[in-house]
Structures are given as C-alpha cells and as structure tokens.
Amino acid sequence: MENTVRIGWIPALIIGVALAFAGWSVGRGVERFRMGDRAVTVKGLAELDVKSDFAIWTLSFRRAGDEFGGVQRLLSEDRERILAFLGEQGFEAGEIEIRPLQVQDLLAREWSPREVGLRFNGQGQVLVKSPRVDALAQAVNRVDPLIQAGVQLESEQQGQPGLRYQLRGFNEVKPKLLEEATLNARAQAAKFAADAGATLGRLKNANQGVIRVLDSDGGEEDSGRTIGKRLRVVSTFEYALE
C-alpha cells in the first residue's frame, strides 16, 4: 500500500515539472519577443512652399434685353472686345478657349413669372489656359477698359474665383517634400533612442501619408485663389532600437 502511494506521486511530479518548464519557456519566449520587437514609431512633418505653374482665367459676361437678336449681337460684340483685349495682353490663340453664346427666353420656361423685366438673358465665356501665371495675374488687374466699354464681367462663377491657379508639376516637387519628412522623422527617432540609451537601428516600416495642397494664405484646402501653394505631408516611420 505504501509503495502504491509513493508510485502515485511520480506521475504528478512529472506533470508538475513539465508544467513549470512550459511556463518558463513561454516566459522566455515573450521576453525574446519583446527584446526583438524593440522599436520606435515617429511621424515626420514637412512643408514646402511652391509656386503655381498653370492658371485658368474664366471671363464670363452677360447681356439682357427684350429682343433676342439684340442680346445676341451685344454678346458677340463683347466677346470680340474680350478677344482683342487678350491679344493686347500677349495671349495667343492656342491659350484661348471660346465657349458658345447662350441666350434664354425667360418667358419660355414653365415656372417663369408672367411678367419679367427683360425677356432675354444671355451669357458667354472666354477662357484663358496658360502656364504663364504671372502674365495672367497682371491681366486680371487690367480689365478696366472692358468695363468702361460696357462689358459686364462676372468676377466669380458658382463660388469659384475667375482666375484659378493650379500646380500641375506636383510629381517634380514631391521627392523633396518626402525627403524632408524622412529627415525630420529620423532626427526625432535618433533623439528618442539616445534618451532611451539605445542605438537607432534599421528602418522597419514606412508610410508616406497623404500630401495636401493648401493655399498659401492659410486656407485649409487648395481653392485655386493664390498663386503660391503650400504642400504638407505627415509620414510615419518605424525604426528598430538596438
């Protein structure tokens, strides 16, 4: 009986030792995982001020009257004045787009009132599309002769400025912006490693982030108002610590 009891302790002892070893192994594994996964994640901010390289100027003009032919004739004359003005400013035919004239009969619409001030309402558009952004910026401020001639110009269309600046050579300035973001992030990571008593290791992961184009006057988005643009990016980097 005594021998039987002693023999019964042997399996329990073996199981206990096995469980203890397994627990020790798991603990050592977690420790190695943590040691091997020592890393720091930082964000690199970079901003770059650039100049627009393309612009679109929309010259919208209107006329109204009681005779269809009279309104159309006035619109045609206004369009010719605008084209002559643009020629004087040095713009070539390849930079100018002429939109068809439109004349509406306000009494022809089902929902229109029976009485209107002027029956026919007409409009036209001439667009200038050019990489010569400085020339366009100057021309916008020289439209006084057109206004004095009776051309009714609209400064904005549907809330958009008549002159809109664009950055089409985005890919040409993108590498410089990302380089600054990378340098900024690495400097932060190196300082963190030094403060932690570690050495900055290899780059493990990188996320470029979204590059935003902003107006240079502090606007949150690119509305096309300003000839200057501000590019901003926040990139994320993960470095190993040794």
Give per-residue pLDDT as tens, 131-157: 999 999 999 999 999 999 999 998 765
Rounded Cα–Cα distance for residues 39 and 35 (Å): 9
Rounded Cα–Cα distance for residues 38 and 196 (Å): 11
The pLDDT tens digits for 44-97 are: 999 999 999 999 999 999 999 999 999 999 999 999 999 999 999 999 999 999
Q: 167 pLDDT band (50/70/90 cuts)? A: very high
What pLDDT score does 157 carry? 54
Alpha-carbon distance values, 227 to 55, 143, 160 (Å)? 9, 19, 15
Q: What is the CATH number of domain 56-163?
A: 3.30.70
pTM value is 0.74
What pLDDT score does 225 carry? 87
Q: Give the pLDDT mean for 2-14.
A: 49
What pLDDT score does 224 carry? 87
Best CA proximity match to 217, nearest among 232, 233, 229: 229
Paired tokens of 28: 């050592």
What pLDDT score does 114 carry? 66
Q: What angle do CA 66, 74, 59 make, to 5 degrees?
A: 120
Q: What is the CATH number of domain 39-53+167-242?
A: 3.30.110.170
Question: What is the average pLDDT score of the chain?
Answer: 83
Rounded Cα–Cα distance for residues 196 and 232 (Å): 30
Give the amino acid at 14: I
